[in-house]
Amino acid sequence: MPDALGENDEEKKRLREENKRLAKEIERLKRENEELRKKLSAVMGSPQMLASSDKTAEAGGVPSSKVFYRRSTPDDEKKPTGGQVGHMGHARARPTPNTPPVVVSLDDCPACGGELGAPRRTLTRTVTDIPPPSLLIYEVQTREYSCPHCLANVKGESPLPSHEQYGPNVVAWVVHHRIVGLSIVKIQESLERTFGLRVSEATILRMETQAAEALGEDYEQIKKIIKGSDCLGGDESKFRVHGKNGWLWTFVDTLAVLYEVANTRGGSVPARILEGFDGVLVRDGWKPYDKISCKGHQLDHLHTNRWLERVEVIHGIEPRGLLSHRAAKFTRAGRPPAEFIRFADGIRARLREAILFIEKNAATITLDERKRKSDEYLANMVSFLGEPWKDANAVRIGNELRSRQDMLFTFIRVPNVPWHNNAAERAIRQGVYHRKISGGRQTWPGAARLSTLLSVFETCKKTGENFIDLVLKRLASRGTGADAGAPTGAATGT
């Protein structure tokens, strides 16, 4: 019996020691967990996550793809579905038939078998279809002559390149699918499965070159339109060429879109492209744009709001839209940065007031009233920024806005200038699609071809012109193609 009691005491002692050890382990894990939470918070709010550099986040115009948070939208801010108030409705225009009708008729009654005679009425509906895919294969017969007058041997000029095996319709089809985002492999697969046509990668690239050269004058004309614009939006994004970092620049007008791939993100590129430009440039905070001397600059205030949001996310505050009236909402426990919240609310309130004013009065306000209101909003903002802020983030963002005070309210002073840069950001996405599909381009000539084709393609979308028709037209004018659907004329040279 004593031995049993002794064993129980030993077991109890062992269990007590084990409990103490586990308690210490639990405390250690809690401390480790807290440290990891702090490190995670620091990483999520670090320059690598929020910007290319914490010191240059405001000046850097960090793209929205770097923003890892999503802004929640309260139910009372959701737009209603369907057409928006004040917007014209759109409906598909009824097409005009260009082929004989498909007649659905009966001779006998399916109910009783009696003869029906003439129909009492005809019900009509219009159906749009595409013809079955097939290839047009034709010979180009070049006839040679001996002139009876001068005895010279002459021959007609072929509308197709002398050694080209594919006609202009194939070139236009390939280039169109290339520029909308299909990879070379998918284009090859689509040609083979649809038309039974096998082409090599080199052939597709040669077609791309052929089309880009034919559209060269159109590309130069787009450059002239951009330089002569009253208001431009500008943006840039990474674009790799031959495995090395390059940059895709875009400048957007109401009637034209210009793309150019360059090996630098420096100010020399926009300075060269926009030489002679004397309109208003809408841009983000990227400093090289500051070198552009023109009528004025407008800072993209969606980027201004992102600067505020990045800091709020670091402090556990739910991101808020620029035009939102919502108060700060905290997503985690902690000490709220009261001064920065007051700073962010003040910036948003002043920008929101100016934006709503111009959206309501843009059609009726005079130029003198525009200048007066612009000066009024600017004086209010400068006074607010000049308060003795102590919060480091408020000081940094305030300094950035104060150094760009002349571009805060250009959209009030100058008609038809937007307060955001949405047009350029939408345009740059088209280049980003190509970067994600192909990883960039393998050569600089290939990047130049993309610049030409993408510029003309996006400009056609703005002007309502058909890109394929334009490619066919330019190929024909260069003597490298014939009108679509007229292979016989091309063969005879007439």
- Per-residue pLDDT tens digits for 67-93: 556 666 555 556 667 666 767 777 778
At CA 477, angle to CA 471 and CA 480, rounded to 5? 75
Q: What is the mean pLDDT of residues 154-178?
A: 84
Antiparallel, parallel or unpaired: β 280-283 and 296-299: parallel
Q: What's the whole-model pTM score?
A: 0.77
User: pLDDT at position 344, please?
Assistant: 94
Radius of gyration of the chain, Cα coordinates, nearest whole angstrom: 33
Q: Please give the single-letter amino acid code of residue 347.
A: I
Separation in Å, CA 110 to CA 107, 113, 114, 115, 407: 9, 6, 8, 10, 77
Dihedral sign, Cα of residue 377, residue 381, residue 382, residue 383: positive
Burial class (CB in 10 A: 0-12, 13-18, 19+), 424: buried
Reported confidence tier of residue 66, pLDDT bands at 50, 70, 90: low
SS3 273: helix
| Structure confidence by residue, pLDDT tens digits, 291-335 | 899 999 999 999 999 999 999 988 888 888 898 888 888 888 778
**Nearest alpha-carbon partner for 250 in 285, 226, 224, 275:** 226
Choose between 19 and 459: higher pLDDT: 459
Q: Nearest CA to 100 among 127, 119, 122, 123?
A: 127
Contacts of 225 (CB under 8 A, 6+ apart): 253, 255, 256
Q: At 10, is the pLDDT very low, low, confident or very high (cuts 50, 70, 90)? A: confident
Question: In the chain, what are the domain boundaries?
Answer: 144-224+457-492, 301-328+335-420
Q: What is the mean pLDDT of residues 43-50?
A: 47
Query: What are 357-416's pLDDT values in tens digits?
Result: 999 999 899 999 999 999 999 999 999 999 999 999 999 999 999 999 999 999 999 999
Q: Within 10 A of 177 (CB to CB), how many other CB atoms are there? A: 17
Q: Using a pLDDT cut of 90, give the percent of the chain over it.
A: 49
Between 43-47, 60-64, 75-79, 488-492, the lowest mean confidence (pLDDT) is in 488-492
Residue 316 pairs with which residues in a beta bridge? none
Give the position of tokens 């109401």.
254
Pick from 171, 244, 66, 181: which is nearest to 438 by CA? 181
10 or 449, which is more confident? 449
Phi-psi region for residue 181, left (φ > 0), alpha (ψ -120 to 50) or beta?
Answer: left
Q: What are phi and psi of 317, to 5 degrees?
A: -105, 135
Angle at Cα 359 formed by Cα 358 and Cα 361, nearest 5°?
60
Q: What is the DSSP code string of 384-420? A: HHTS---SHHHHHHHHHHHHTGGGSSHHHHSTT--SS
Residue 4: pLDDT over 80: no
Q: Using an 8 Å Cβ cutoff, are 382 and 402 in contact?
A: yes
Using CB atoms within 10 Å of the CB of residue 298, give its burial: 0 to 12 exposed, 13 to 18 middle, 19+ buried. buried
Span 180-186, average pLDDT: 89
Paired residues of 317 in beta bridges: 330
Mean pLDDT of 333-354: 91
Widest distance between CA atoms in the chain: 140
- How many other CB atoms are there within 10 angstroms of residue 321's CB atom? 16
Per-residue confidence band for 164, with pLDDT thresholds at 50, 70 and 90: confident
Q: Which H/E stretch holds residue 20?
A: helix 2-44
With H, G, I as helix, E, B as strand and everything else as coil, classify residue 296: strand
Q: pLDDT tens-digit profile of 96-147?
A: 999 999 998 998 988 888 888 888 899 998 988 888 888 888 888 888 999 8
- Cβ neighbours of residue 307 under 8 Å, at least 6 residues apart? 57, 58, 285, 397, 400
pLDDT at residue 244, rounded to an integer: 86
For position 55, what pLDDT does the model report? Answer: 45
Mean pLDDT of the region 427-446 = 84
pLDDT band at 486 (very low <50, low <70, confident <90, very high): very low
pLDDT at residue number 330:
86
Q: For position 484, what pLDDT does the model report? A: 40
Report the amino acid identity of residue 446: G
How does the average pLDDT of the chain come out, rounded? 84
